[in-house]
Amino acid sequence: MKSVTAEWMDQVAEELFEAERQAQEVDKMTARFPQLQAENAYEIQRKLIKIKEEREQTRRSGYKLGLTSRAKQEMMGVHEPTYGVLLENMQLFEGEQVSIIPFIHAKIEPEIAFVFDKEVKGPAITTAAILDATAYIAPAMEVIDSRYRNFNFTLADVIADNSSSSRYIFGEKLYRTNEVDLRLMGMVFKKNGEIESTSAGASVMGHPARAVAWMANKLTATGQSIQPGDVVLSGALAGAVTIAPGDHFSVQFDGIGSLDITFKE
Ligand code: OOG
Ligand code: MG
């Protein structure tokens, strides 16, 4: 059986970088290397982030969780959560019209963002430790754009592809976590004024901060931690929706307001 070599992982990272740059989907990595495990996939992800930081002249701004709700796990057929890295040049701001030209087959999903003002270093990080280190929460949306053909992947594939991350946006009216019960916080996600889905914070692993705690503990395996100033997306509360030019999306949460975004050609 072939084993994963550093050269192969470099090549995969390079291929995923080019797939995004050229907006060209590629075959999933496990089609060529079925024995690819999550651990090696995270190593590929780190190589990909290094390439992006160097060539796009950008920096890490935080992390994202993926596949933390049952809705998302069932939609994608992957039944474990993942994480990825957010970079500064992935951030979108309210009011801008976002062109879909750079995307392959982008989708958008409703999320809750956490903004940290303390370092969170595992192991043994709890939901309480996450809430204690969180400066603010805000409504968020994530644009995901898998680099794989037909948005189809296994756990290892999606990890290598930085958990499908593409762009993110979060509200600039920020809230303290003690103002709300994150589990019971209701959510309404709309596309072009019509309700697409409804959910509540508890859809994300029982409590969105529990998902963030899961990641903080995972990060210790590679000596990483959540840094002060980081933004962390805790994962979609409902299924992702395909984006077409002209589409308008909004997410509304009980107690922490709403967020809007519009796409163009
Ligand atoms: C993987 C990323 C999932 C989320 O919030 O669940 C994700 C995917 O569905 O392509 O970002
Ligand atoms: Mg997401």
Q: Give the pLDDT score at 179.
A: 83
User: Could you tell me the residue ranges of all domains in the chain?
Assistant: 6-264
**Unique residue bearing structure tokens 């930081």:** 53
What's the N-to-C CA distance of the chain in angstroms? 46
What is the rounded distance in angstroms from the CA atom of residue 36 to the CA atom of residue 185? 38
Tell me, in angstroms, the distance from the centre of ligand 1 to residue 159's CA: 10
**59 CA to centre of own chain:** 16
Spatial contact of 51 and 14, defined as CB atoms under 8 Å apart: yes
Cis peptide before 123 (omega within 30 of 0): yes
Of 230, 261, 258, 229, nearest in space to 245 by CA: 261
- CA 99 vs CA 9, 121, 130, 201: distances in Å: 31, 37, 35, 30
- Which atom of ligand 1 is the closest one to the Cα of 81? 6
Q: Give the pLDDT score at 1.
A: 54
- Which atom of ligand 1 is the closest one to the Cα of 107? 10
**Unique residue bearing structure tokens 């189809």:** 152
Q: From 163, 233, 251, give the residue whose CB has the most ligand 1 atoms within 8 Å, as the site to mutate.
A: 163
Query: Which one-letter amino acid corresponds to residue 181?
Result: D
Class of domain 6-264: alpha beta
Tell me, in angstroms, the distance from the centre of ligand 1 to residue 147's CA: 12
Q: From 109, 161, 199, 231, give the residue whose CB has the most ligand 1 atoms within 8 Å, as the site to mutate.
A: 109
Spatial contact of 218 and 83, defined as CB atoms under 8 Å apart: yes
Q: Spell out the per-residue pLDDT of the chain, length 265, in tens.
A: 578 999 999 999 999 999 999 999 999 999 999 999 999 999 999 999 999 999 999 999 999 999 999 999 999 999 999 999 999 999 999 999 999 999 999 999 999 999 999 999 999 999 999 999 999 999 999 999 999 999 999 999 999 999 999 999 999 999 999 889 999 999 999 999 999 999 999 999 999 999 999 999 999 999 999 999 999 999 999 999 999 999 999 999 999 999 999 999 9
Ligand lying nearest the CA atom of residue 235? 1
What is the rounded distance in angstroms from the CA atom of residue 107 to the CA atom of residue 192? 14
Q: Give the pLDDT score at 219.
A: 98
What is the rounded distance in angstroms from the CA atom of residue 115 to the CA atom of residue 237? 18
- pTM assigned to the model: 0.98
